[in-house]
Amino acid sequence: MITSKAISNGLRCMSTVGFIGLGNMGRHMAANLVSNGKDVVVYDVSSDAVNQLEGKGAKGAASPGEVAAQSNVLVTMVPSSPQVKEVYEGGVLANMKPGTLCIDSSTIDPSVSKSIASQVEKAGGLFYDAPVSGGVVAAENGALTFMVGGAEDKFSEVKSYLDMMGANVIYCGDNGNGLVVKLCNNMMLGASMVAAAETLNLGIRMGMDSQLLSDILSKSTARCWSIDTYNPVPGVLPGVPSSRDYEGGFGAALMLKDLGLAQGMADASSTTTQMGSLAKKIYEELCENTELAGKDFGVIFKDLSSK
């Protein structure tokens, strides 16, 4: 006997993948789905972003609801909790097909993600939180790390899509757990970027060449991603945001948002996070400058070096 569940699974194998959110990360993720042979329908509040993906072979849509109506698999990648709620409650839930597999790669409050997961389930779909790590370069190269939360029995299917956009897809447990891991990661990342920027600024002011200093730190016990892969000093590494006036990366305002979410988890769990709290304060002060708030979060080096 062929069940409706089997039918929906079969449809997803041959389905159109919907993608909502074509920012610095999402546009590369959607493009990688297209390059892997998937039929992809996209939406973004920016018509230019939609047009760019259409030029790569995707089909544009006029709204999130229109994307949902055409898709059996739906990926969302938007900036924050309010946008995720708006996308789902303002169109996706009312238009999605039964059995739709929903994958949200946004970095949001885990409690909001769990609420959306419950609503998707009531609408007959499946929901996974799958935030990412690796930055814009990894998104472009299909080398992201995905941290996935949701029902384990469908993880292999979720992974089959995420493998087209990433190099590491890791199951973290129930809905919301992927976000817990991501926010812990970004709390540490924010703190390490501040430490890297302070260290490099100090060495340069003491007369060290920025390239030599970075090379040595990359081979020493201080080695970290903020030094050897995403160095915040302009000109040290080609292709990273610091070498293009901090454009096109992970915005300082988004880092502040994530640090705030991490502190929310810390408060809720009565966990002491002094470094995380201090990193949040430093980025709050940085983001008071609206010009810097829109730059990549490595702009903390520019801010420190100007003082």
The partner residues of 251 in beta bridges, in order of sequence, read 296
The chain-wide mean pLDDT, for the chain, equals 95
**Is the per-residue pLDDT at 71 higher than 50?**
yes
**Is the per-residue pLDDT at 6 higher than 70?**
no
Residue given tokens 């600024």 in the structure block:
201
Q: What is the mean pLDDT of residues 85-97?
A: 97
Using pLDDT thresholds of 50, 70 and 90, give the confidence band for residue 11: very low
Question: Which pLDDT does position 1 carry in this prediction?
Answer: 39
Pairing of strands 16-20, 39-43: parallel
User: Nearest to residue 105, comparing CAs of 130, 133, 74, 83?
Assistant: 130
Residues 130-188 pLDDT 10s: 999 998 889 999 999 999 999 999 999 999 999 999 999 999 999 999 999 999 999 99
Backbone angles phi, psi at 30, to 5 degrees: -65, -40
Query: Using CA of residue 128, residue 133, residue 135, residue 140, what is the dihedral sign?
Result: negative
**Is the per-residue pLDDT at 9 higher than 90?**
no
Residues 210, 256, 191, 29, Cα dihedral to 10°: -70
Using pLDDT thresholds of 50, 70 and 90, give the confidence band for residue 4: very low
Residues 268-302 pLDDT 10s: 999 999 999 999 999 999 999 999 999 999 999 99
Residues with Cβ within 8 Å of residue 150, at least 6 apart in sequence: 117, 126, 127, 128, 129, 158, 174, 175, 178
Residue given tokens 């050897």 in the structure block:
228
Catalytically active residues, by annotation:
182
**How many C-beta atoms lie closer than 10 Å to residue 160's C-beta?**
13
Residues 30-69 pLDDT 10s: 999 999 999 999 999 999 999 999 999 999 999 999 999 9
Query: Using CA of residue 28, residue 29, residue 32, residue 33, what is the dihedral sign?
Result: negative
Query: How does 6-34 read in b/e, with b if 16+ C-beta sit within 10 Å?
Result: eebeeebeebbbbbbbbbbbbbbbbbbbb
